[in-house]
């Protein structure tokens, strides 16, 4: 479990331990790569890229006793999750509506793609117009500020090289509470769709995201996960824009997770302890110097 999330989201760890799991904070001293990271920075908050590297190392050196299952970014994972978008299409049909816009959060791309790709399929095959907006943290703006190029999927450069939007595989994002969005890269297919103009990308800051999450909780009785709250933020913004212009639009957004295990983050917000992080330009620029050299 990424170290910053290990401490920010203790209830997730406790649930796993309740079912018999042993959970370590990544980077750990239990892998060679984790030892290297800690030697360079004993206070490293970790990242999804580092955790992937450690998991791959454990699986690769276990003699087949341990396996590693990818949870995002790669095409087959995105396709498996399209059950969400397919169900949404059915629900819209039952309601006699069709969305003018789709909104979802992006970290690696799987939950967003699962939601949006069936609608994009309708756009490409039947000409059904739709606006698709992907929302990411301003502190880890992979698509809105990253480079579309070849990079590794993990920090230790053990995963395959793919073409995607990236902030550099060695980039360690600030410790925002949306831990699932702290990833340096974006799914290759999603990145290509952004480049082609089929998906818009937008970045929002942590405080305005939690402001929207609290507003949504009070209106709907549902506490969204910090990751999902990014989609809530932009859905509210787009609804307010419709109110301002007098336009009527159907807005569909993906509430991809509840926040019952993230109440420490909400407590920090209510206590005024959360902060916004500026775009770490210098750290991203340094990470970009480590991109692989690919012959075209």
Considering the domain architecture, whether residues 114 and 213 belong to the same structural domain is answered as yes
Considering the domain architecture, whether residues 219 and 265 belong to the same structural domain is answered as yes
Per residue in 23-47, pLDDT (tens digit) is 999 999 999 999 999 999 999 999 9
What is the count of structural domains for the chain?
2
Query: Does 234 fall in a domain?
Result: yes
Residue 99, domain extent = 75-288
Considering the domain architecture, whether residues 19 and 115 belong to the same structural domain is answered as no
Query: Does 70 fall in a domain?
Result: no
Contact (Cβ atoms closer than 8 angstroms) between residue 194 and residue 141: no
Considering the domain architecture, whether residues 122 and 207 belong to the same structural domain is answered as yes
pLDDT value at 296 more than 80? no
Considering the domain architecture, whether residues 112 and 148 belong to the same structural domain is answered as yes
Considering the domain architecture, whether residues 38 and 145 belong to the same structural domain is answered as no
Q: Could you say which of 15, 31, 60 is where a domain stops?
A: 60
Per residue in 122-175, pLDDT (tens digit) is 999 999 999 999 999 999 999 999 999 999 999 999 988 999 999 999 999 999
pLDDT value at 260 more than 80? yes
Considering the domain architecture, whether residues 105 and 221 belong to the same structural domain is answered as yes
Query: Does 293 fall in a domain?
Result: no
pTM of the model: 0.94
Considering the domain architecture, whether residues 152 and 180 belong to the same structural domain is answered as yes
């Amino acid at each position: 479990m990424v170290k910053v999330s290990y401490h920010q989201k203790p209830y997730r760890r406790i649930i796993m331990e309740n079912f018999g799991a042993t959970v370590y904070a990544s980077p750990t001293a239990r892998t060679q790569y984790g030892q290297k990271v800690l030697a360079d920075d004993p206070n490293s908050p970790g990242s999804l890229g580092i955790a992937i590297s450690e998991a791959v190392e454990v699986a690769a050196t276990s003699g087949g006793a341990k396996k590693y299952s990818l949870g995002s970014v790669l095409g087959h994972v995105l396709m498996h999750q399209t059950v969400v978008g397919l169900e949404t299409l059915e629900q819209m049909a039952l309601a006699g509506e069709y969305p003018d816009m789709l909104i979802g959060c992006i970290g690696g791309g799987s939950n967003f793609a699962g939601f949006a790709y069936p609608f994009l399929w309708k756009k490409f095959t039947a000409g059904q117009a739709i606006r698709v907006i992907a929302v990411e943290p301003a502190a880890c703006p992979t698509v809105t500020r990253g480079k579309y190029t070849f990079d590794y999927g993990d920090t230790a450069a053990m995963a395959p090289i793919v073409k995607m939007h990236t902030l550099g595989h060695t980039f360690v994002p600030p410790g925002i509470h949306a831990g699932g969005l702290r990833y340096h890269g974006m799914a290759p297919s999603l990145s290509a769709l952004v480049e082609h103009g089929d998906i818009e990308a937008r970045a929002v800051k942590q405080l305005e995201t939690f402001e929207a999450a609290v507003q949504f909780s009070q209106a709907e009785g549902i506490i969204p996960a910090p990751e999902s709250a990014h989609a809530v933020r932009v859905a509210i913004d787009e609804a307010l824009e419709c109110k301002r212009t007098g336009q009527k639009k159907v807005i569909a957004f993906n509430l991809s997770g509840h926040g019952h295990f993230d109440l420490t983050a909400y407590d920090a917000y209510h206590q005024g302890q959360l902060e916004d992080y500026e775009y770490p330009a210098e750290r991203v620029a340094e990470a970009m110097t480590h991109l692989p050299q690919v012959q075209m």
